[in-house]
Structure 1
Amino acid sequence: MQSENIKELRTMIKTQDAKILHLHLQHADKIDLVNKSNLMEPKPRNFQSKKAPTFEGPELSEKVMRTQTQHRIARASDTPIAFYAYSSQTFSRPSDHLVLSFDTVITNGGNSYHPHSGVFIAPRSGYYVFTWSLRVEGDAHISTELMVNGAPQSSIYFDATHYVGGNTSGTVVVQVNQGDEVFVRTTKDNFNGGDILSDYMGRTYFGGWLLHVA
């Protein structure tokens, strides 16, 4: 009786061992399958894109405009402001307040003198020197004035005679602002009679230059 119980117990142990072995094999197969699956399926790579530096539109535009303005100012400050031009024609019996145009340009640093109108437009604020001259003869009497915008700065007058003629000139040192218009014109009140001449014997001219930036 006891031997039969021992046999039965051994049989049960073998059966349990077989079941445990079977479970171990199943578990090993599952682990192997998972490992193979991991090897075959590529792991997603975590790419962290580097963000490019961003600039706000208005801020970038403002910086560009500021830089361009600074470059323009630097270029303008390096450009000499000076001009000289004379008339190639006679002003025949000029009327009152006639703006004289000096059409033959010799110097125009900064391109601020406009020969068609006879007007110099100040590119920068500062102290300027302006000079002008006119030639008369043959009983002519002419008066001209230098204008800054609508304000006269100085005037010159020449009363020639039959035997005496020549050039008369004026010079002004004046402070002008950027954009101001400077020109020479005849005066009024019947101060003008005869012609303003300009030829190889004597030129009627207008010139000026920037003396100091204000």
Structure 2
Amino acid sequence: MTFTLWLLLWFCGVTLAQDGFPQTEVATETGSCFPDMCKFLKEFGAMKEKQEAMETRQKETENQVLELKKKDASNIAFSAATGGYGHTEPFSTDTTLIYRRVIVNVGNAYNQHTGIFAAPVPGIYYFTFFYHAGGSQLVNLTLMKNNEIVVTVYDHKSSHDGADNGGNAAFLQLQQGDQVYVRMSANSHVWQNDYITTFSGALLRPQDFTFLQRCGGTLCPTRLFDYNIAPTGVFVAPVRGIYYFSFFYHASGLHPSNLHLMKNSEIVVLSSDQQTSNDGSDNGGNAAVLELQQGDQVYLQLVANNHVWGNNYHTTFSGFLLHQV
């Protein structure tokens, strides 16, 4: 652009200085052509300033788009349940457990057809998995990172235990493309439906560690039966965003237990155990990632004629905001 401007000035000067023009012609040329050239150069300069301003705005827009893409790339979270109904077939080989009912899949990094989560960006991720199963069958599940065992959960079969619940969790540092999934060992099983056997995960950042309720002036998880903290037991979303919730319970095996994690009036996931005369106690829990609108309510619902053990430690309800949307 600068080169073109200087070229025009040079051309104008050369034109006016050429030999062979009489003095009167030069004066005429100066009076008629040179003012037009000055006007052109002014317009040309104004156009140049406008173009530079447009280039600046375009650069700012490109930077904003890059920031938005970077932000979207860090919003990764999913929850899924096995779906179907009934226990899985006892496969003769180790099998990847497929969670077909997708509860939420922000970033689309979880594949409901293969049961595999593939990390879209490097980072620290948090994963949980829970199961329900008949007590008369073996349960053996493993959280896998690529081909490596991360954590496991296991329960022996028993002739006098009606049902079992279990789960585990882990933080993992993943590179882009790393795969995380739940492997079910040969000849073991779980119970399938839309709520009870689940797999969840999320990409964490420093601001993610914000629990939903406050107690004693510091951030801490909500205890389901501590009504000084949460008199209603209901969490109300303060902002639209992606949230993570988990609950765990302890109960006597002499009574049935059935807890539902509810979003408004809908069941999200659940955990239950049957009553048995020979089982001293039971433990269970579940977790889910939820996309909530401002004002949505999340709470635990204890089904009629069921029970859990209530104290300050055993039966808990926790959650935190992953990111706003």
Identity of aligned residues (%): 26
Q: Which residue of 1 aligns with 2:130?
A: 133
Structural RMSD (CA): 3.6
- Runs of 5+ unmatched residues, structure 1: 1-33
Q: Which residue of 1 aligns with 2:96?
A: 99
Q: Quick one: which of 33, 44, 51 aligns to 2:33?
A: 44
Deviation at 1:85, TM superposition (A): 0.8
SS of alignment partner, residue 44 of structure 1: helix
Q: Which residue of 1 aligns with 2:105?
A: 108
Deviation at 1:98, TM superposition (A): 0.9
TM-score (norm 2): 0.43
Q: Distance in 2 between matches of 1:75 and 1:195?
A: 37
CA contact 1:92–1:195 (8 Å) conserved in 2: yes
SS of alignment partner, residue 69 of structure 1: helix
Q: Which residue of 2 aligns with 1:208?
A: 201
Q: Which residue of 2 aligns with 1:5?
A: none
Report the AA paired with residue 163 of structure 1. H
Residues 43/126 of structure 1: CA separation in 2 closer, same or farther (3 Å cut): closer
Render the CA deviation track for 1:65-120: whole Å, top value 9, x for unaligned: 9734343113334x3x3221111134211342311110111122232222111111
SS of alignment partner, residue 47 of structure 1: helix
Deviation at 1:141, TM superposition (A): 0.8
| Structure 1 moving runs of 4+ over 6 Å | 63-66
Q: Distance in 1 between matches of 2:140 and 2:199?
A: 15
Deviation at 1:139, TM superposition (A): 2.6
- Runs of 5+ unmatched residues, structure 2: 1-22, 207-325
For the pair shown, the structure with the greater C-alpha radius of gyration is 1
Report the AA paired with residue 76 of structure 1. A
TM-score (norm 1): 0.62
Select the structure that is richer in helix. 1
Deviation at 1:64, TM superposition (A): 9.0
Deviation at 1:158, TM superposition (A): 1.7
CA contact 2:130–2:199 (8 Å) conserved in 1: yes
The 5 Å alignment of 1:147-158 reads 147-158=144-155
Q: Distance in 1 between matches of 2:88 and 2:176?
A: 30
Q: Distance in 2 between matches of 1:74 and 1:197?
A: 37
Q: Distance in 2 between matches of 1:176 and 1:194?
A: 28
Q: Which residue of 2 aligns with 1:87?
A: 82
Select the structure that is richer in strand. 2
Render the CA deviation track for 1:5-29: whole Å, top value 9, x for unaligned: xxxxxxxxxxxxxxxxxxxxxxxxx
Residues 142/129 of structure 1: CA separation in 2 closer, same or farther (3 Å cut): same
CA contact 1:101–1:118 (8 Å) conserved in 2: yes
Residues 181/65 of structure 1: CA separation in 2 closer, same or farther (3 Å cut): farther
1:170 aligns with 2:188: no
Deviation at 1:130, TM superposition (A): 1.0
Report the AA paired with residue 150 of structure 1. N
Q: Distance in 1 between matches of 2:146 and 2:187?
A: 25
Report the AA paired with residue 106 of structure 1. I
1:197 aligns with 2:191: yes
CA contact 2:124–2:174 (8 Å) conserved in 1: yes
Q: Distance in 1 between matches of 2:109 and 2:147?
A: 18
Q: Which has the higher contact order (CA 8 A, sep 6+)?
A: 1
CA contact 1:146–1:154 (8 Å) conserved in 2: yes
Render the CA deviation track for 1:177-214: whole Å, top value 9, x for unaligned: 23211111123xxxx435321237x721111222336x
Render the CA deviation track for 1:148-192: whole Å, top value 9, x for unaligned: 1121111111222233122221111222123211111123xxxx4
Render the CA deviation track for 1:8-59: whole Å, top value 9, x for unaligned: xxxxxxxxxxxxxxxxxxxxxxxxxx98xx98xx84345254264789xxxx
The count of aligned residue pairs is 167
